[in-house]
Amino acid sequence: MAIDFTLTPELEDIRVRVRGFVDDVVRPGEDEIAATTGLSRQDYLRILLGMRKQAREVGLWLPHMPEEWGGMGLGHVELAMVQAEAAKTRLGPWVLNCQAPDEGNMHTLLHWGTEEQKEQYLRPLCEGTKASCFAMTEPEVAGSDPTLIQSRAYQDGDEWVINGHKWFISNAHRANFAILIVRTEDDPDLPQAANSAFIVDIPSEGWTEVREVETMHGSTGHSEIRIEDLRVAADKMLGGRGEGHLLGQSRLGPARLAHCMRWIAQAEMALDMMVDRALNRYAHGSLLAEKQGIQWMIADSTMELYQAKLMVLHAAYRIDNKLDFKSEVSMAKHFVANALGRIIDRSIQVHGALGYSTDTPLASMYQHARWARFADGADEVHQMRIDQRTIAAYKDTGSARTATGDLLL
Ligand SMILES: Cc1cc2nc3c(=O)[nH]c(=O)nc-3n(C[C@H](O)[C@H](O)[C@H](O)COP(=O)(O)OP(=O)(O)OC[C@H]3O[C@@H](n4cnc5c(N)ncnc54)[C@H](O)[C@@H]3O)c2cc1C
């Protein structure tokens, strides 16, 4: 096996172009939005859609999708470098149409959708004319354990009738459709085979948005949904009966890693800001950068970011090469989410009161970093699975080696 961390000239060109596009188009667009008080919705959309139009014109559109769907046809390793550039701005991934949750839903529809479902739902997602959400978590039961899902569907002729309650459904407020996970099987062979997935048009009678949940990063983005006697045609089931869990898991692997790629961008921004501040702030006879306490914060953050990048690249390599990636994605998701929080926290510390203010993006980044430790799999659930696989590897082979990335060492 050749270990080669260099990029082909074509990919290096893409990376340079994404970076240039983010600097020349996305950042100025974001600045314009931030600087205009009382910006009308019309102007807001004009700026947003204008950026998307430009991304499409220069071929930086749908990096994660195959070319036949209008995408750039990149693998996960290659996608890592695009996401890690794009996510240095808040809107970058959205402008390139590779943002959560649409990105994960596109993968899901591509792999599980029928031809009709792909044309009706995947095509407009790829065109950027529709938005989607993924609705699984419920307030009444632990989201960490989807076998507990209570929302139910029963079949009535060639329709399914669904009742239930969901919350924290990202993007539901703006979405044109949802991929909804509910219980359809009463007595499955395996507890994981109780749920099925449905595509639900929004709006639909019986699908009610109760509110957008107020969170520590604001009041938009994540909705509570009541589902009452919602009728869905049988051909809107995505995948087969009882395959909802499987579909969720296969969606979450690459989607979790894509989060990690974007978190790397955020962590790198926080580290850059930390270094810049340390080089420019003077106290007690020297620059902060000359003080050992600050140097350790910079060094620890650098090492953690390096580990994060290697873990993401290796997990992406495993996905691209059709190798089992569950453990590697779990380890990456857990590590990068936690490293992100620590690095932003240190950067805030080095900035002092400025870091706590909203004059820099750090405060907002910190609020978002907090959810990374439990959304898409809580830390402890990933640790539980990693532990299970490590013990299984030891029992099977007499060593934990294969559970540690199955690397050459
Ligand atoms: C910003 C944000 C966006 C989200 N977007 C979506 C979305 O689009 N769609 C969607 O369906 N959901 C979404 N969620 C929900 C998210 O997926 C859930 O929060 C997550 O799955 C955890 O479920 P829970 O909140 O019910 O916590 P619980 O499952 O109740 O867990 C609470 C805590 O218990 C601990 N815990 C759980 N299991 C174990 C265990 N086995 N061992 C030890 N400790 C354990 C962990 O510390 C965990 O944090 C989002 C959440 C957030 C914050």
What's the predicted TM-score (pTM) here? Answer: 0.95
User: Which backbone phi and psi does 134 adopt, to 5 degrees?
Assistant: -125, 115
Q: Residues near ligand 1 with C-beta < 6 Å?
A: 101, 133-137, 142-144, 168-170, 222, 371, 374-376, 378, 380-381, 384
The verdict on whether omega for the bond into residue 101 sits within 30 degrees of 0, i.e. cis, is yes
Return the pLDDT at 398: 98
Radius of gyration of the chain (CA): 22
User: Which backbone phi and psi does 61 adopt, to 5 degrees?
Assistant: -140, 130
Return the pLDDT at 37: 87
> Terminal CA-to-CA distance of the chain, rounded, Å?
13
Q: Shortest CA distance to 340 belongs to which of 315, 318, 313, 368? A: 368
Bridge partners, residue 155, by sequence: 160
Q: Do 134 and 101 meet the contact criterion of CB atoms below 8 Å apart?
A: yes
Tell me, letter by letter, the H, E, C secondary structure of 142-161. CCCCHHHCCCEEEEECCEEE
Element (H, E) at 402: none
Between the CA of 15 and the centroid of ligand 1 the distance, in Å, is 34
Nearest residue by C-alpha to atom 37 in ligand 1: 144
Return the pLDDT at 151: 98
Between the CA of 178 and the centroid of ligand 1 the distance, in Å, is 19
Per residue in 50-65, pLDDT (tens digit) is 999 999 999 999 999 9
Nearest residue by C-alpha to atom 44 in ligand 1: 380
Nearest residue by C-alpha to atom 18 in ligand 1: 375
CA 352 to chain centre: 30
State the virtual CA torsion across 70, 74, 80, 84 in degrees, nearest 10: -40
Output the six-digit token pair for 78.
């290659």
pLDDT < 50 positions in the chain: none
Tracing tokens 């095509």 back to the chain, one arrives at: 123
Going by the DSSP 8-state scheme, the letter that residue 53 receives in this structure is H
